[in-house]
Amino acid sequence: MHASPGLVAILAYDGLCTFEFSIALEIFGLPRPEFDFAWYQHRIVAVDAGPMRAMGGFQVLTDGGMELLQDARTIIVPGWRSRTEAIPDQLLQALRTAHAHGARLVSICSGVFVLAAAGLLAGRGATTHWRYTDELAARYPDILVDPDVLYVDSGQVITSAGSAAGIDACLHLVARDFGTQVANSVARRLVMAPQRSGGQVQFIPVPVGRTPRSDLSQVMQWARERLHQPLEVRELASQAAMSERTFLRRFSDATGLTPKAWLQHERLARARELLESTTQKSEAIAHQCGYRTVESFRVAFRSVVGLPPSVYRERFGRRPTPACATNTYP
């Protein structure tokens, strides 16, 4: 039985960044009849008074003003209209108050500058689009800016990189609330790959490869079918019929990850699925996912997911149907 995830407040303002706004609306605002539990409530919150026009010229209608933030469990800050323009004091104070009351804050792309201006990132890790990371670090030296990752989860505050990384950050929040199976179901409805881990590097401009990447796709699928084995780079390179050096370069260009980091992500994704859908012990799951010891599995899982495997299962595992829920007849 899932607890209600509460109200998601999505900020809207004059000059609204429409793609980032639509990401939040798509994930948290659409009805989800495929689920038999309560989904997020959502409200569109006006930052500015009077008519607001989004990028592209269309007018934005909202559900109310910033008083709605008082009831929000989660607040989404889409990419902000200007990194140099002063941010309204009323918005900064409303965000500080909501944070003090326990609301979760999520920024997408340049929305991080709003959270930074509110003083909510001091001493925390954070990220933004790779074009803006140097500026963020220079303007706010008390923020631990990570320029390479897709998003940073600091607990109550999540910051994401460029626009598409906002999808991953929002799906990450869904996984925190409901587990990876639900997050992956939402991803499938978006017709996209399952949510990527925050530690995956941002995609920066690289020359477009002239050779098709089907060879890498086949190798990746081959590896997924053998996660229980201690796979080495030389084996993956051999499957791709490449030298190790060429394979490493092409793999990194295509995925933004080293093979080792990608395997870690795949192993832990598989472990999360098994913890959610089976009653297998951690020792068995560790073996199936390619960890030599259960201790190394627990350390890796907690480092990436943020919870021990046992707590993750308790929170997201499939619970047996109680006997009283079964139809019985005299």
What tens digit of pLDDT does each residue of 240-280 get? 999 999 999 888 877 777 899 889 988 998 998 899 889 99
Phi-psi category of residue 245: left, alpha or beta, with phi > 0 → left and psi -120 to 50 → alpha? alpha
Q: What whole-number distance in Å separates Cα of residue 112 and Cα of residue 49?
A: 22
**φ, ψ (nearest 5 deg) of residue 64:** 160, -175
Q: Is residue 198 part of a domain?
A: no
pLDDT surpassing 60 at residue 127: yes
pLDDT of residue 322: 44
118: pLDDT confidence band, cut at 50, 70 and 90?
very high
Q: Is residue 118 part of a domain?
A: yes
Q: What whole-number distance in Å separates Cα of residue 130 and Cα of residue 7?
A: 30
Mean pLDDT value across residues 127-144: 94
Q: What whole-number distance in Å separates Cα of residue 165 and Cα of residue 23?
A: 10
pLDDT of residue 306: 77
pLDDT of residue 269: 87
CB 108 within 8 A of CB 159: no
| Exposed e or buried b per residue across 41-61, where buried means at least 16 C-beta atoms within 10 angstroms of its C-beta | bbbbbbbbeeebebeeeeebe
pLDDT surpassing 70 at residue 229: yes
Q: Is residue 42 part of a domain?
A: yes
Q: Is residue 162 part of a domain?
A: yes
pLDDT surpassing 80 at residue 214: no
pLDDT surpassing 80 at residue 122: yes
pLDDT surpassing 70 at residue 197: no
pLDDT of residue 203: 46
pLDDT surpassing 50 at residue 174: yes
Please, what is the average pLDDT of the chain? 86
Say yes or no: 169 and 35 in one domain: yes
pLDDT digits (tens, 9 = 90+) for 281-308: 999 999 999 999 999 999 999 888 878 8
Mean pLDDT value across residues 16-29: 94
Q: Bridge-partner residues for 12, per DSSP? A: 46
Q: Three-state SS for 88? A: coil
pLDDT surpassing 50 at residue 330: no
Q: In sequence order, which ranges of the chain are alpha helices (DSSP H)?
A: 18-29, 89-100, 112-117, 133-139, 163-178, 180-189, 214-224, 233-239, 244-255, 259-277, 282-288, 294-305, 309-316
Say yes or no: 179 and 111 in one domain: yes
Query: What CATH number did the domain enclosing 321 receive?
Result: 1.10.10.60
Token reading at 56: 């592209």
Task: Please list, in sequence order, all residues whose beta carbon lies within 8 angstroms of the beta carbon of residue 310, skipping any fewer than 6 positions away.
Answer: 282
End position of a domain, from candidates 152, 174, 189: 189
317: pLDDT confidence band, cut at 50, 70 and 90?
confident
Say yes or no: 164 and 232 in one domain: no
pLDDT of residue 155: 87
Domain that holds residue 88: 7-189
**φ, ψ (nearest 5 deg) of residue 268:** -75, -35
